[in-house]
Chains A and B, each alone.
Chain A
């Protein structure tokens, strides 16, 4: 790009990814999920990452991703693992336990939270996980910090021997600005752990490791107190002090555009909370306003249990909405500025919810499901995470449940156990390999009467049509799990096949055991090149 500027135009996510490349990582392990996806995609596209042979292929799910990152760390090299907030639930087992084992090569876990649930089913705050695991957490306030913090986090990880969490939020992940790029560090060589028991978490070793982790907590706190990313900024008006977490700092400063904020500010970008600075703010100011995106994490820590300490205000006290993301306007309100948040739109403006693409194969599948629904009032359809979740909305309204990755099959099983029939699961190809396979085994073992429809569009479509681990493997996987071949069917969801598809699905619903129907048609968002490749593979 021809430019007068030395800065590189990057999304928050891309700045973070560049930081990881420049920290000398040898691999990134991730499963796509909004708002985290562009971190891994940036490394996949990076020429320099290719030259350096940095691993960047997608993993099957967040747990396999994080475990592979830990394996790379065990070998002494630096690894990055990336997921959206709910992805960390999937990886929680290894996440909690690698805090006990500690790491060898630097390991950074990036979790992108989605306050306001722009593209998620909840707005859980990952800082709770970081605290739960007792590891340091970074929360960049802007894109430049996302770059700098990521480089620094790998050094701190190796210094403390702990995995480090970086928490991003949607608005930082998906906002672009000019970034100053620094020097790149070389990758680590293979170097096995010095302590042979470190990664052997049998109880007698785990107890020692846990004591070590507990003993490190003071070191973690001191690291926060001395952190360049936590700043105490003096102000003349001590009637109030303000704690900002991550991106909240920007929204606060936005409200004092022409003159500086009169209140003392404690800007937090590293946890555990820097106790010394928090104490100073408490001693200096009459009242403390806590501004944080997501849950009232800091506010709960610094408020007293009974809420009688009127000194601390924020989301818990209603000064900011308890739910939803921060913005300059709701912070203006919390500061007592006379800002009316105006949600009134002209009457002519209608809501425009997302919808399935024109020509999408999921549409034809839902057409069939809805016709079958007319035949049986008892039909229940258990949905899953992906584009086809839009089948919840009009005009289809085909899906009764949507909870978490893989829950379609297992919920259909439980409902069938309870006596529901027809009990139908609809799951995407990639969601199936992510978390559906084990549930299918549960159903196969008991030959539970459920009909599992794998709506296979050969892509992880919702996040941008990334390659699916399931492509070309679904039939063999289902056979391997033990699905009866007579009840393992493939259909093509096209309007011209509607009647034929309805008949086939009806037959499988009537079968009193596990059926799997693979409804197969490539995502319309796929490039022609990818579609041709799929066609070629299926002919072979």
Chain B
């Protein structure tokens, strides 16, 4: 068993909180994990990604080879498409639908959505709105993680435990909001994942 996940976004959007939950849950489930991340210049509003690999066997490469990603999770619709060469033929795409526009040549949103929907396994959701409705727009990432949780080699229990561990220091309220966001993501994704 090996699951390859690419996390995508713009520097400062906090994709590493998703990575951290996966890391903690994998380690806790006695699985091997490798998770690469981007530090430095790109963190200033540039395109950033993280490669997460989870397996019950030894993992060699820190980078996912092209065409081998099972899932791409993006917090921004254009950034999702940047990593398409890494996606497996039957791989899954999941993204928040809200654009982060800090460049002058950002494409038409409708064109982006069209391109995303060309892929049979794509989940395009307004995760930000869902998180906002729950009273914490910062929990957007956990909505997205919830949406793909059924595709992960990690149990719900271990993921929820990892969310609790990650946000522990910020207090019970924040933990509860993030868990709620995660569960809401699971609910919303049901219609996409058959």
B-contacting residues of A (Cβ < 8 Å)?
1-5, 7, 9, 11, 34-35, 37-38, 118-119, 171-172, 174-178, 247, 249-251, 253-254, 257, 327-329, 332, 339, 341-346, 348-357, 387, 390, 462-464
Q: Which residues of B sit under 8 angstroms from A7, Cβ to Cβ? A: 27
Q: Which residues of B contact A37 (CB under 8 A)?
A: 39
Asked if B70 is an interface residue, CB under 8 A from chain A, the answer is no
Residues of A within 8 A of B59 (CB): 177
State whether A350 touches B66 (Cβ < 8 A).
Answer: no
A250-B62, A342-B66 are known contacts. Are A174 and B24 too (CB-CB below 8 A)?
no
Known A-B contacts: A5-B27, A176-B36, A339-B65. Give 11 more (CB < 8 A).
A2-B165, A5-B28, A35-B40, A37-B39, A119-B42, A176-B33, A177-B32, A247-B62, A254-B65, A352-B45, A464-B39
Partner of A390, one of B23, B38, B44: B44
* Contact status B66-A341, CB under 8 Å: yes
Cα(A7)–Cα(B23), bound, Å:
12
Interface residues contributed by chain B, number (CB under 8 Å): 52
Which of B46, B82, B115 is in CB contact (< 8 Å) with A355? B46
In the complex, what's the smallest C-beta–C-beta distance from A13 to chain B, in angstroms? 9
List chain B residues, Cβ under 8 A from A174. Answer: 36-39
Q: Which of B99-107, B120-128, B137-145 contacts A (4 or more CB under 8 A)?
A: B99-107
Within B40-85, the residues touching A (CB, 8 Å) are: 40-47, 59-67, 78-79, 81-82, 84-85
Q: Given A251-B60, A343-B85, is A348 in contact with B40 using a C-beta cutoff of 8 Å?
A: no
CB contacts (< 8 Å) of A352 on chain B: these are 10, 45-47, 78-79, 102-103
Which residues of A have CB within 8 Å of B62? 171-172, 175, 247, 250
Residues in chain A near residue B36, CB distance under 8 A: 171, 174-176
Name 14 interchain pairs, CB-CB below 8 A, sorted by A: A2-B161, A118-B40, A119-B42, A174-B37, A253-B60, A254-B60, A257-B60, A339-B65, A346-B81, A349-B82, A350-B105, A355-B102, A390-B41, A462-B44
Contact of B34 among A2, A176, A353, A462 (CB under 8 A): A176
Chain B residues near A5 (CB-CB < 8 A): 27-28, 30
CB neighbours of A341 from chain B (8 A): 66
- Cβ distance A408 to chain B, nearest Cβ, rounded Å: 18
User: Quick check: A178 and B32 within 8 Å, CB to CB?
Assistant: yes
Chain B residues in 8 Å Cβ range of A1: 24, 165
Residues of B within 8 A of A345 (CB): 81-82, 84-85
Q: How far is the CA of A249 from the CA of B59 in the complex (A)?
A: 12
Q: What's the dominant secondary structure at chain A's contact region?
A: loop
Q: Are A354 and B45 in contact (CB under 8 A)?
A: yes
Distance of A6 from chain B, by nearest CB (Å): 10
Complex Cα–Cα for A353 and B30 (A): 38
* Residue among B10, B34, B165 with the highest chain A CB neighbour number at 10 A: B34
Q: A37 vs B38: C-alpha distance in the bound complex, in angstroms?
A: 13
Q: Do A344 and B85 have beta carbons less than 8 Å apart?
A: yes
A463 lies within 8 A of B30 (CB)? no
Contacts of B11 in A (CB 8 A): 354
B112 at the interface (CB under 8 A from A): yes
Q: Is A346 a contact partner of B41 (Cβ separation < 8 A)?
A: no
- Smallest CB-CB separation from A250: which chain B residue? B60
Q: Which of B10, B12, B61, B112 has the most CB of A within 10 A?
A: B61
Interface residue? B35 (CB, 8 A): yes
Are A350 and B85 neighbours in the complex by a CB distance under 8 Å?
A: no
Which of B24, B67, B161 is A9 in contact with, Cβ under 8 Å? B24
Report Cα–Cα, A302/B30, bound state, in Å: 42
B161 x A346 contact (CB < 8 A): no
